[in-house]
Chains A and B, each alone.
Chain A
């Protein structure tokens, strides 16, 4: 399977995605655009509350090609953050009191400077989160020691596992992914990740394998805990239930399966002002592989940069300015404000 980018698919164009989202909501569904919905809830303009998390996308290269990927990541994506851009990120972190660095991709570990960058962030005393797809750990012998590396640098590991069986997981993430994920989870458990008393945090991310919303995060966590423990002897700390956002490959899935209208209608009807108040973009800045600044990883993938009055590049980073920015919104934002809400840390309401 190739990325939309490699296939030169029409949805590889971010302006096409934005146009289709807006046309769908306004013209076909005749429902309010996201900004109108926020105005009705008294939440427009949505203001940032500070920058507590610097989420850095170190590249779009990945060993997997998941059907729902909003990054359109894959082995054919060559966009990788350079060491120079990483140094600019480190300078921004050193000059600020941002406590958390959240590394994502692609598979962030495939960036050749990944380990050095984690070490430097750790030296700055930052809490480092790595969004690890699990299978990278077993993909090649050079990655087999990642669990020890994470442990030695106090990294919090956050890993996607859309279901507790192979069938649904592999349908979303590729053949054999569940089996490899189980193997990687066991390796993480072996060095103490997810094991009570070690302080090594292993959190799982659940996202629906299809065109439906996640149910109760607590209920899903209970079920995952039971099955993974009973059937695979795997332990983890927490489970974050995340809603699929209609961007890139998930958007393509919605259109090609005929689910776009139904899914958007469901998101819009489930709009929850409490979830909207808690969205993660309010306390996060997202950095792209080439150093540009966005309100979140989804805005990054849609080429929607931060408020034009703000510094646009990590080399110009100013927490003082960005703390008071207005969040850039579009129709995909309905994904984070539906029901119990959705963020990289799970529900928000």
Chain B
């Protein structure tokens, strides 16, 4: 079995406290509160999480928030648009550094 990124490992996330219970409890309490209904709906938060999951390229998070957005009644179009938001920010983050390149190139050019 491949020791890296096993889909089955996602189910073990809740047992992360086995090695450090106090911090795990604090994390999961915080996590639960973050995703509760608030100024943003739980649905909106789930779509944000799906986008961020693609940004951090965490396969566990992608699986988890694909299911979560589906459970919350998001359409496939909404889900893919969220992924494009992540892609646009990542792409933009690379591209905006082009300004730095241009600055340096102009500095060195006649």
Give A residues with C-beta under 8 Å from B: 163-165, 167-168, 206, 208, 210, 212-216, 219-220, 222-224
Contacts and interface: CB of A to CB of B under 8 A. Distances in A.
Contacts of B42: 215-216, 219
Contacts of A165: 75
Chief secondary structure at chain A's binding surface: loop
B25 interface: no
Contacts of A168: 75-76
A215 B76 contact: no
Contacts of B95: none
A163 B41 CA distance: 19
A212 B75 contact: no
B71 A208 contact: yes
A219 B67 contact: no
B54 interface: no
Contacts of B43: 215, 219, 223
B75 A215 contact: no
B72 interface: yes
A220 B72 contact: yes
A164 B72 CA distance: 13
A28 to B, nearest CB: 14
Interface in B11-37: 37
B70 interface: yes
A212 B63 CA distance: 12
Contacts of A213: 71
Nearest to B37: A219
Nearest to A266: B67
Interface string B47-79: 000000000000000000001101111011000
Nearest 9 A/B pairs, CB to CB:
A215-B71, A215-B72, A220-B73, A223-B73, A212-B70, A212-B71, A219-B43, A212-B67, A213-B71
A214 B67 CA distance: 10
26 contacts: A163-B73, A163-B75, A164-B73, A165-B75, A167-B75, A167-B76, A206-B73, A208-B70, A212-B67, A212-B70, A212-B71, A213-B71, A215-B68, A215-B73, A216-B42, A216-B72, A219-B37, A219-B42, A219-B43, A219-B72, A219-B73, A220-B72, A220-B73, A222-B41, A223-B73, A224-B73
Contacts of A224: 73
Contacts of B75: 163-165, 167-168
Tell which of B43, B73, B75 has the most Cβ of chain A within 10 Å. B73
Nearest to B41: A219
Interface in B70-108: 70-73, 75-76
A213 B37 CA distance: 19
